[in-house]
Amino acid sequence: MPPEKIDPPVPAVPAFHIMTKPIGSICNLDCKYCYYLEKEQLYPTRENFRMADQVLEESVRQTIQSQAAPEISFAWQGGEPTLLGVDFFRKAVELQRRYADGKKVSNALQTNGLLLDDEWGAFLSENQFLVGLSIDGPRELHDRYRVDKGGQPTFDRVLRGLEFLKKHQTEFNTLTVVNRANSQHPLAVYRFLKEIGSGYLQFIPLVERKADRAAKGLGLDFAEPPLAGHWSPSAPVTAWSVESRQYGEFLVQIFDDWVRHDVGRYFVQIFDVKEQFCSNISVAKQDFCSNIMDAKQDFCSNICGAKQDFCSNIWSAMQDFCSNILGARQDFCSNILDAKQEFCSNILGAKQDFCSNILGAKQDFCSNILDAKQDFCSNILGAKQDFCSTILGVKQDF
Ligand code: SF4
């Protein structure tokens, strides 16, 4: 059944590092100190440890989409990842391009080098893989523990694989397991690694604990590493584990040689980490000073700004005040003027009304007098006519 598609967490986190082991603990070597080979026993029913195509696709898609960073790094490890064949990684690169969505994708591959050939060299170079080659030093030190399934030495085959990387100008570095044997010969190991062309050297201390009861119960030869910060019953380390003091001596001797001759030419991871740490401290210090300086500038700038704002506000208030006074004065004069005009207009209106009323009354009075006179005259005339008519009537009767 195909695996269910699981959406990435939303929102994506800024960045994280993930190590992919696409063939689990399966390897073509049988290094005596390898703690990982026996982990195959934890999956007793499983026969095929090869990562399925659908799992590969989901892994690539989610690794890219879960990170908000502009560059996504893939780290391929084993077991031995080259056992998957070049086509598996062609598919991985094709999927990275499909899901990149504008992000830059980089790849690192850790290998024991035995299967490297022209095809691998060309592919790794074309696709700009950074290859980590596992090698423990000169022949006798490398072959002490790093042997194949038949117990045969692997030194020559590792160097043969390295030649293909060089031939195709593939970028590579070396990973050296510092164990009980090679830790006695720090300068021989260091100079050998430089001779074979490694420009970036990683030294990993080998510290393995013999199986405790829990590990034996699972059929394992090695105990789990103790959990950080938790108490763990003591367990003796294996005979090939590097002793603590010797590991320190190993690093000190290489450091003394490196610091006199090789700074800037060869990079030793553990020394560069220290340099990076010091550099980070220095940067943090600069950032701190810069922040203090910025804060001071901001403070002064704010004070200056506040002062300017204050003066500007006072000035505006003053202008507003003067403007208001002026406006009020203008309003006052204008109101006085308006009131005067209204007053005069009212007086004029009243005078006109008065005159008009007087005139009307005079006209009414004259008209009434005239009417009364007319009525009087008319009545006199009427009475005179009535009198004459009456006299005439009496005269006629008489
Ligand atoms: S090459 Fe690595 S994985 Fe393979 S046996 Fe050696 S240590 Fe183990």
Instruction: Enter the DSSP assignment of 153.
Output: B
Write down the pLDDT at residue 388: 64
What residue owns the CA closest to ligand 1's atom 2? 79
**301-346, pLDDT tens digit by residue?**
776 576 677 657 766 766 776 576 566 657 665 676 676 677 657 7
* CATH annotation of 19-226+233-265: 3.20.20.70
Q: Which atom of ligand 1 is nearest to the CA of 146?
A: 6
Model confidence, pTM: 0.68
Q: Are strands 130-134 and 200-205 parallel, antiparallel or unpaired?
A: unpaired
What residue owns the CA closest to ligand 1's atom 8? 34
Select from 92, 81, 83 the least CA-distant residue to 53.
92
Sheet holding 104-111, edge to edge: 19-20, 71-76, 104-111, 130-134, 172-178, 200-205, 267-268
| Phi, psi (degrees; rounded to nearest 5) at 209 | -100, 140
CA–centroid distance, residue 29 to ligand 1 (Å): 6
> Would you say residue 139 has pLDDT above 80?
yes
> Would you say residue 347 has pLDDT above 60?
yes
Q: Which residues line ligand 1 (CB under 6 A)?
A: 27, 29-31, 34, 36-37, 78-80, 112, 134
Instruction: Enter the DSSP assignment of 45.
Output: T
Would you place residue 367 in the very low, low, confident or very high pLDDT band (cuts 50, 70, 90)? confident
CA dist 103 and 100 (Å) reads 5
> Would you say residue 247 has pLDDT above 70?
yes
CA–centroid distance, residue 79 to ligand 1 (Å): 6
Burial (CB count <10 Å: 0-12, 13-18, 19+), residue 184: middle
Q: The tokens of 297 are what?
A: 């500038």
Q: Mean pLDDT across the stretch 14-28?
A: 95
Higher-pLDDT residue of 133 and 359 is: 133
Q: Which region, left, alpha or beta, applies to residue 297 given φ > 0 means left and ψ of -120 to 50 means alpha?
A: alpha
Q: The tokens of 164 are what?
A: 């293909």
> Would you say residue 134 has pLDDT above 80?
yes
Write down the pLDDT at residue 311: 55
Q: Which atom of ligand 1 is nearest to the CA of 37?
A: 8
CA–centroid distance, residue 337 to ligand 1 (Å): 108
> Would you say residue 133 has pLDDT above 90?
yes
Would you place residue 91 in the very low, low, confident or very high pLDDT band (cuts 50, 70, 90)? very high
**Placement of tokens 């020394």 in the chain:** 271
Alpha helices in the chain (DSSP H): 53-65, 86-99, 118-126, 139-142, 155-167, 186-195, 213-217, 244-261, 269-397
Q: Which atom of ligand 1 is nearest to the CA of 33?
A: 7
Determine the residue of 19, 31, 145 to mutate for testing ligand 1's pocket, defined as the one with the most ligand atoms within 8 A of the Cβ atom. 31
Higher-pLDDT residue of 327 and 99 is: 99
Write down the pLDDT at residue 193: 98
- 61 contacts: CB under 8 Å, gap ≥ 6: 95, 99
Q: Mean pLDDT across the stretch 209-229?
A: 83
CA dist 82 and 106 (Å) reads 18
CA distances from 137 to 146, 177, 186, 254 (A): 11, 9, 9, 13
The radius of gyration of the chain from alpha carbons, rounded to an integer in Å, stands at 55
Extents of the domains making up the chain: 19-226+233-265
> Would you say residue 172 has pLDDT above 80?
yes
Q: Mean pLDDT across the stretch 151-158?
A: 98
Write down the pLDDT at residue 332: 61
Determine the residue of 25, 26, 33, 34 to mutate for testing ligand 1's pocket, defined as the one with the most ligand atoms within 8 A of the Cβ atom. 34
CA dist 255 and 271 (Å) reads 8
Which span out of 190-199, 271-280, 314-323 was modeled with the highest average pLDDT?
190-199
CA dist 281 and 297 (Å) reads 24
Q: Mean pLDDT across the stretch 31-40?
A: 94
- The rounded mean pLDDT for the chain is 86
CA dist 190 and 85 (Å) reads 32
Write down the pLDDT at residue 99: 97
CA dist 325 and 394 (Å) reads 100
CA 44-48-54 angle, 5° bins: 125
Cβ(239)–Cβ(180) under 8 Å?
yes
Q: Which atom of ligand 1 is nearest to the CA of 134?
A: 1
CA dist 118 and 393 (Å) reads 173
Q: Which atom of ligand 1 is nearest to the CA of 79?
A: 3
Cβ(133)–Cβ(173) under 8 Å?
yes
| Helix/strand/coil (H/E/C) assignment for every residue in 230-256 | CCCCCCCECCCCCCHHHHHHHHHHHHH
What residue owns the CA closest to ligand 1's atom 6? 31
> Would you say residue 289 has pLDDT above 90?
no
